[in-house]
A and B are shown apart, each in its own frame.
Chain A
Amino acid sequence: QVQLQESGPGLVKPSQTLSLTCTVSGGSISSAGYYWTWIRQLPGKGLEWIGYIYYSGSTYYNPSLKSRLTISVDTSKNQFYLKLSSVTAADTAVYHCARDVGGFGSFDPWGQGTLVSVSS
């Protein structure tokens, strides 16, 4: 079955760019109908949809993050990526990647998540 795994630095300095990779295994990222998603969970709080990308490269972003956000995909590596610029402590969170079946919010499966702390 499809599995997703996040990777990237666990510590980022304020004002720098947070960069994460999600590796998809057990299936092709180019399969039709799936939207590859980033979601974060702020400490002690709920979930926040960051955005998603289709294998063709079409992206959809959370308006509150859009000015700082880039999501991209490399179909040859079966990976997709998150870049969030000008980070502050408020961006400290567990970042999950997930597959959205259909693009309407059916997120399944999820990666286990990776904690990214923003601190000097």
Chain B
Amino acid sequence: QSALTQPASVSGSPGQSITISCTGTNSDVGGHNYVSWYQQYPGKAPKLIIYEVTNRPSGVSNRFSGSKSGNTASLTISGLQAEDEADYYCSSYTSSTTLVFGGGTELTVL
């Protein structure tokens, strides 16, 4: 199984909105509504911030939102804050009853 494709890095200024893409195939992202997003700070475990494409776990800021179109899922962070600077990973369930992650995106808040 191939990793999902994410941009290596994105950046934005405080207050702006940014979007991170996650591209797969019709066997994973495009074939199911089981895309999740994770936020990871250096040296820490990842934290679930979006599940099933659009849902936020309790306690996650509503500045984080998810969407999907075809084989590409997207994470949007609005009202960018310094604390959002972290690595972001997507994951998807696959038709082979496995899970696959994206390569990760480093977000820099300018």
Contact = CB atoms under 8 A, between A and B. Distances in A.
Interface string B36-72: 1010000011111001100001000000000000000
A62 B2 CA distance: 11
A63 B95 CA distance: 13
B89 to A, nearest CB: 6
Contacts of A108: 47-48, 51, 57
Given A46-B104, A49-B91, A105-B92, A110 B52 contact: no
B2 to A, nearest CB: 11
Interface residues of B, number: 28
Contacts of B98: 49, 60-63
Contact of A107 (B44, B48, B96, B97): B48
A112 B32 CA distance: 29
A64 interface: yes
B20 to A, nearest CB: 13
B96 A63 contact: yes
A47 interface: yes
A46 B89 contact: yes
Contact of B38 (A48, A64, A101, A107): A107
B102 interface: yes
Contacts of B57: 108
A77 B74 CA distance: 40
B36 A47 contact: no
A106 B1 contact: no
Contact of B3 (A46, A107, A109, A110): A46
Contacts of B45: 96, 109-113
A105 B3 contact: no
Nearest to B94: A105
Contacts of A100: 99
Interface string A13-47: 00000000000000000000000000000000111
Most buried by B among A46, A47, A108, A110: A47
18 contacts: A45-B103, A45-B104, A47-B46, A47-B89, A47-B104, A48-B101, A49-B99, A60-B97, A62-B1, A63-B98, A100-B99, A104-B32, A104-B52, A105-B36, A107-B91, A108-B51, A109-B45, A110-B47
